[in-house]
Amino acid sequence: MFHLRAQQLLLVRLRKMALEQKDFKRKFLRKAPCRVRLVKAVDPGGRGNGSTKQVLYTLSKRHEEHLIPYSLVQPVQVQTKRPVIFSPSLLSRGLIERLLQPAESGLKFNTCPPEPIQASEKRDKKVFLLDSSIPEQALGIRLQSIQEVISQDKHGLLELGLHSVEGLLRQGIYPIVIHIRPKNKKHKTLRKLFPRCGVDSVMEEVCQAEELQLETLPLLYFSLEPSAWSCTDELLAAICNTIHSQQRAVAWIELDRLQ
């Protein structure tokens, strides 16, 4: 009888532990985004000394109990105004137009209009193409244009895609990358706000590709969660707040990729 009672108590305890763990996971997943990045930072001079390495970790939604080393990064405090790149890139033009509409926005933002790029300039590292897959309609933004906006002490709102981030970093430009997470998998809300961004199937395909590309950037990006906005005005306000907060924040760069 004593042995049977001990087994019963053990089963009760195991069930209780399982329920507690399930409840913890449910609370964790409700409060946290689908992916959380934690940064372990130290003095750059201590790089490579055992436990003092600067390591960026990814905390996976499916394995929240494990910290997975992601990449070696180094903090950079940017003193000048940082340009801004949006993801999904299909939203860039519409977002830039809306952000520049208020009269007072000219005091904080400016844009670098894309211009035709000659075939002889396409390999120029100081020229950033909007879409390198369309050679016959090459449009791009020159480094000089971006630097001119920075010299005005303004954030340059760029129509560039994520593929330009590494090239900008190599030129000493540290963009703020803002990823706008859709409110649903089919991106219907974003399509309603910005109808010119393309057909549903194209937008969904581009968004999925860019979400994967974000994880390969040598720069830490910022995700704007769906809960942060419910209409166009709230989205624009959230973007402005993000730009200001990211300007004050440290830029985490994977310098090994840039050498």
Residue by residue, DSSP assigns 63-129 as TTT-EEEEEE-EEE---SPPPEEEESGGGHHHHHHHHH-SGGGGGTEEE---EE--GGGTT-TTEEE
| 179-180-181-183 Cα dihedral, nearest 10 degrees | 180
The confidence score (pLDDT) of residue 181 equals 85
The residues facing 68 across adjacent strands are 58
Positive or negative: CA dihedral 145, 147, 149, 152: negative
The confidence score (pLDDT) of residue 36 equals 43
For the chain, the distance separating the N- and C-terminal CA atoms, rounded to the nearest angstrom, is 71
The confidence score (pLDDT) of residue 248 equals 93
> 178: buried, middle or exposed (CB in 10 Å: 19+, 13-18, 0-12)?
buried
The residues facing 205 across adjacent strands are none
For the chain, 259 residues long, the average pLDDT of each consecutive 10-residue run is 56 64 51 44 46 44 45 86 94 91 82 91 92 71 96 96 95 96 63 56 75 87 90 92 94 83
Intervals of CATH 3.40.50.300 along the chain = 76-258
The confidence score (pLDDT) of residue 201 equals 63
The confidence score (pLDDT) of residue 107 equals 80
Angle at 161 between CA 158 and CA 167, to 5 degrees: 90
The Cβ of residue 196 has, within 10 Å, a number of other Cβ atoms equal to 10
Cβ–Cβ under 8 Å, residues 244 and 65:
no
The confidence score (pLDDT) of residue 2 equals 47
Which structure tokens are listed for 6?
């001990």
C-alpha 37/C-alpha 68 separation (Å) is: 10
Pick the CATH number of 76-258 from 2.60.40.290, 3.40.190.10, 3.40.50.300, 3.40.50.12280: 3.40.50.300
Residue 71: C-alpha distances to residues 26, 53, 55, 217, 254 (Å): 28, 10, 6, 11, 7
Q: pTM for this structure?
A: 0.72
The confidence score (pLDDT) of residue 240 equals 95
Beta strands in the chain (DSSP E): 35-40, 55-60, 67-72, 74-76, 84-87, 109-111, 115-116, 127-129, 139-142, 155-158, 176-180, 222-224, 251-253
